[in-house]
Amino acid sequence: MALNYTKKTLNHFLKPKNIGEIKNADAYAEIGNMVCGDQLNFSIRVQKGKIKDVKFLSFGCASNIATASIMTEKVKGMSLEEAKNYDWNKIVADLGGLPQQKVHCSIMAVEGLKKVIDNYEDKKDVKKDSKKELKKVMKKKSTKVSTKKSAKKKK
Amino acid sequence: MQVYLDNAATTQMDKAVAHIMQTYSLEKFANPSSIHYLGEEVYNDVEKAKAKVAKILNAAPQDLIFTGSASEANNFIIKGVARANKDKGKHIIVSEIEHPCVLGPAKELVQEGFKVTYAPVDKNGRIKITELKKMISDDTVLVSIITANNEIGTIQDIKKIAKLVKKSGAFFHTDAVQVVPYLKIDVKDLGVDFLTLSAHKFHGPKGVGMAYINRSVKIKALISGGEQNHGLRAGTIDVAGIIGFSKALDLAYRNRDKKIEKVKKLRDYFLEEINKNIKDVHLNGHDKLRLENNLNLRFNGVEGEAILMDLSNQGICVSTGSACSAKNLRTSYVLQALRIDPKYLNSNVRFTLSKNTTKAELDYTVKKLKETVKRLRSFSPIK
């Protein structure tokens, strides 16, 4: 069945932007796998809460490559919060449309982006938390638990 | 440069076929069922064309039913034989690597109370004959095994399988759509009851299939409502189509040995060049028992459709049985039947040559393929 990729999709497939892997990136993420037929690997560099750089590797079809290419182009410079909520419909619109059976590629691209940002934030959280803070958190958690327990007892 | 390497999908019509079809569309256009002089003339020409096909296949003209496609012919045979012989049994065997137009009707028959079992193939796509033998029971009414699969081109020992099936008392059908001119078809020698062909696979017109039927076996019509084809397939006779089918088949088998040798030489050269220029390429299917025009290759680390699209952008037409090209996004069930590691199921491309393929076209393709695979591998996460 004819796919009728738009010129823009083909251009992004043939000359993808932001391909590769950032060395010593702030975070990495992998989504999909060879068995399901598509895989994207993202790496990001973050500065002042914004995406300074983002790159991707792809094992996938033309639209897998094109969607990741155009998305990375658009989210560069965006705040993490904004990028995390990037709408896959925007990718489809930016490409001038995607064949119905290929729309899932754009969803995979935004999910991969979200995953790499999540990985970054998780890493950051761990770094931030000094031992003391960690202890505090632990304490809080344990107090919470004990309050719950006492609450139960009260009942 | 335009390079067409998707001849298993369809072939370019021969000029001589197009010309003769034009005559039977513009001039000799009468309905062969009409009894006036023009109808009679056309009727006689169609009969002659049928007789020519029958001679090539070593069949009788009345054993041939022309249909609107090979899909229709397969539907007619699978469903027609099963439905007409219910008293004989309600079990059908088809191979795991049949074309969807055999698998589809088989599934339909399950709804009607038939039992369908799937004969497995080995890692090269050859039917496991001992397994098949075990599957046949007294209830088995029909066995259908594809002569050569459309994706991987693996050739089956149809004569041996037909003999085995017939001995059990079941009827035997083979879908031989891919094999002209690479294999000779002698229905008597093969010992088949039913066989399917399609004109557009051998430089004939699209929309013309053919069912060879053993007329001593009961078969129910798929399309009723007319006396054409002895009541087995109603509908105005497709004059230009049948004439075109006959002409194309006749031309296909002329200088057959020379043609096959040319295609095989080019195909082997093509594979050699690919292996010389690109690392990590694997052949799917049998290395010897395969159609001379078929190459099904796996390019590790890249996705098949990406290769296809990149080549397509440079004028080269190939095909992929893999996930992304199909509407349903499923990986090739044929490659799955070979029990290939699932992680390799999405990296395959099929190249199918024809008598019209040239060395220059293949050289160009190797050059572009090398660049494409290099490019796609350069940013693949799979190393």
Q: Which superfamily, per CATH, for B3-11+255-377? A: Aspartate Aminotransferase, domain 1 (3.90.1150.10)
Number of structural domains found in chain A: 1
**Chain B residue with the nearest C-alpha to that of A100:** B327
**Min CA distance, A50 vs chain B (Å)?**
25
Residue A1 maps to a domain: no
Mean pLDDT, residues B159-187: 98
In the predicted model, what is the mean pLDDT of residues B268-278? Answer: 98
Residue B166 pLDDT > 70: yes
Count CA atoms within 13 Å of residue B156 on its CB side. Answer: 32
Any chain B CB within 8 A of the CB of A16?
A: yes
Distance from the B328 Cα atom to the nearest Cα atom in chain A, whole angstroms: 7
Residue B132, amino acid:
L
CATH number at residue A128: 3.90.1010.10
| Eight-state DSSP code of residue B31 | -
Amino acid at site B34 = S
| Pairing assessment for the beta strands B3-4 and B64-67 based on DSSP bridges | unpaired
pLDDT the model gives residue A130: 54
Q: Is position A2 within any domain? A: no
Q: Find where tokens 């009827």 sit.
A: B171
Residue with tokens 């990037």: A86
**B99 DSSP β-pair partners:** none
Alpha-carbon distance of B323 to B348, in angstroms, equals 10
CA distance B1 to chain A (A): 18
Residue A124: the pLDDT is 84
Which pLDDT does position A126 carry in this prediction? Answer: 77
A147 pLDDT tier (thresholds 50, 70, 90) = very low
User: For position B354, what pLDDT does the model report?
Assistant: 98
Which pLDDT does position A141 carry in this prediction?
55
Across chain B, mean pLDDT equals 96
Per-residue pLDDT of B282-293, as tens digits, reads: 999 999 999 999
Q: Is A39 on the interface with B (CB under 8 A)?
A: yes
Mean pLDDT over residues B325-342, rounded?
Answer: 78
* Residue range A107-143, pLDDT digits in tens: 999 999 999 999 999 988 877 655 556 566 566 655 5
Instruction: Say what the ipTM of the complex is.
Output: 0.90
Class of domain B15-252: alpha beta
CB A15 within 8 A of CB A101: no
Out of B327, B346, B381, closest to residue A37 by CB: B346
Cβ separation of A37 and B322 shorter than 8 Å? yes
CA-angle at B12, arms to B10 and B17, nearest 5°: 115
CA distances from B293 to B154, B167, B270, B280 (A): 11, 33, 11, 22
Tell me whether residues B306 and A20 touch, CB distance under 8 A: no
pLDDT 10s digits, A11-21: 999 999 999 99
| Contact assignment for B346 to A58 by CB distance below 8 Å | no
Residue A149, Cβ density class (10 Å: 0-12 exposed, 13-18 middle, ≥19 buried): exposed
CA distances from B58 to B2, B212, B314 (A): 38, 11, 44
* Residue ranges of domains in chain B: 3-11+255-377, 15-252
Q: A30 contacts in B (CB within 8 Å)?
A: 381
Predicted local confidence at residue A135, as pLDDT: 61
Residue A2: the pLDDT is 84
Contact A59 B310 (CB under 8 A): no
Structural domain range at position A143: 7-154
Q: What percent of chain B lies above the pLDDT cut of 90? A: 95
Cα–Cα–Cα angle for A29, A11, B326, rounded to 5 degrees:
75
